[in-house]
């Protein structure tokens, strides 16, 4: 049982962003020109405006340092 808990913790560390609406975890791949490239657990890319990641109602990013787009 602890192995499953450890696996879940590793996934949470590797993919720290969570889309609250879809329940999907992502990691930040790149940020450029106001867009952030995310990668889903299965490898599918997703592009979102960097400012949208600051919205706590849509994203759970408690363990991620998000940089504001300049």
- pLDDT single digits (tens) 5-44: 998 888 888 899 999 999 999 999 999 999 999 999 899 9
Question: How many Cβ atoms sit within 10 Å of the Cβ of residue 66?
Answer: 15
Q: Specify the DSSP element, H or E, that contains 64.
A: none
Give the residue-averaged pLDDT of 49-61: 91
**Residue 67 or 22, more confident:** 22
**Residue 5 or 63, more confident:** 5
Contact, 66 vs 53, CB < 8 A? yes
Domain boundaries along the sequence of the chain? 2-60
pLDDT at 12 (0 to 100):
86
Q: Is the pLDDT of residue 52 over 90?
A: yes
């Amino acid at each position: 049982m602890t192995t499953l808990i450890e696996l879940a913790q590793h996934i949470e560390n590797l993919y720290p962003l969570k889309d609250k609406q879809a329940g999907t975890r992502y990691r930040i791949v790149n940020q450029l020109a106001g867009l952030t490239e995310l990668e889903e657990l299965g490898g599918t890319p997703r592009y979102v405006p960097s400012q949208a990641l600051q919205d706590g109602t849509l994203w759970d990013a408690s363990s991620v340092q998000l940089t504001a787009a300049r």
